[in-house]
Amino acid sequence: MSLEKKHVLVTGGAGFVGSNIVEKLLNSDVSVTVLDNLSTGKFENIEEFISNSNFKFIKGDICDFDTCLIALEGIDFVCHQAALGSVPRSIEFPHKTHEVNATGFLNMLHASKEKGIKRFVYASSSSVYGDSSKSPKIEGEEGNLLSPYAVTKQLNEKYASVYSQLHGIETIGLRYFNIFGPKQDPNGVYAAVIPKFISRLRSGEDVIINGDGLQTRDFTYVKNAVNANYLSLFTENKEATGKVYNVACNDSFTLNYVVESLKEGLLKKGIQSKSNVIFGPERQGDIKHSLANINAIKNYLGYKPLYSFQEGVNEYIGSFL
């Protein structure tokens, strides 16, 4: 697809994944508008783009329908990354999680329908697989949901499917599997494990693992997720739309292995960590093992992981040292 004069709205574009997507789009000469209320996103993540003539920032909330309509003026495609992440946070604050992830999503999707948006790409989550014991995880073989966060992400997929059928919007959902990389916040009680681990290893603080550390995850470097969004936004394969896809590497590692890999990565950069590993209680809503089958996204979108787990770790560590 020709990208000339294309204009993409990235909701949550000041967040971790969103800001990385913005960078990729701008480097591809695509015009980008970011809609973000900066509640979890950070202005510093997009500050470098402000001087770019192809970039526009709107501070606003997807929970306000009129704001969604205004943000869509002149837009061709939507890349919806805005959400309130974290399974534990959703258990503690289910109403706020639903407001942002469910109502906010519907606002953005319906506003897109009202404005005649052709394509709507959105972030889903591996959490929709719930308690499914099947491995690797395959689209269409989900289990019972384990958290309010997972409920909202499944609801996103169902709304997208309905709007695709009723209104002809070309929707594509991307089920992220444990994304990590630059611009990911290591602070706070809801921080993701890899940036949190790196931060503690660098400072010599104890690394706390919930559970025995033998749980496995298909950790996915953010540039793989960015590529999946890029392919989804601009694919000309009509059979690819109206579906959801796993975004991962089809490879998984225990948290214990991850800590050791991070230690080795830091050591290569001259930092020898003296941190100890402390095992805490398991977290509510967590699954034991997560491994993705990525055949569908390969077949329909031509996706393949650009970075392995270790390649991603090496580049990530190098990005802030």
- 149, 176, 230, 307: which is the annotated catalytic residue? 149
Tell me, yes or no, if 149 is annotated catalytic: yes
Q: Where are the alpha helices (DSSP H) in the chain?
A: 16-27, 65-71, 87-92, 94-98, 104-114, 148-167, 193-203, 222-234, 255-268, 295-301, 309-319
CA distance 233 to 2: 11
User: Which of 76, 93, 77, 74 lies closest to 85 in space, CA to CA?
Assistant: 93
Tokens of 162: 């309905």
Residue 37: count other Cβ atoms within 10 Å of its Cβ. Answer: 20
Tokens of 19: 């800001």
CA distance 57 to 53: 11
**Bridge-based pairing state of the strands 220-221 and 243-247:** unpaired
**Bridge-based pairing state of the strands 207-210 and 253-254:** unpaired
- Is residue 151 a contact partner of residue 157, using CB atoms and an 8 Å limit? no
Residue by residue, DSSP assigns 46-73 as: TGGGTT-TTEEEEE--TTSHHHHHHHTT
Residue by residue, DSSP assigns 125-158 as: EGGGGTT---SSB-TT------SHHHHHHHHHHH
Q: Which residues are catalytic?
A: 149
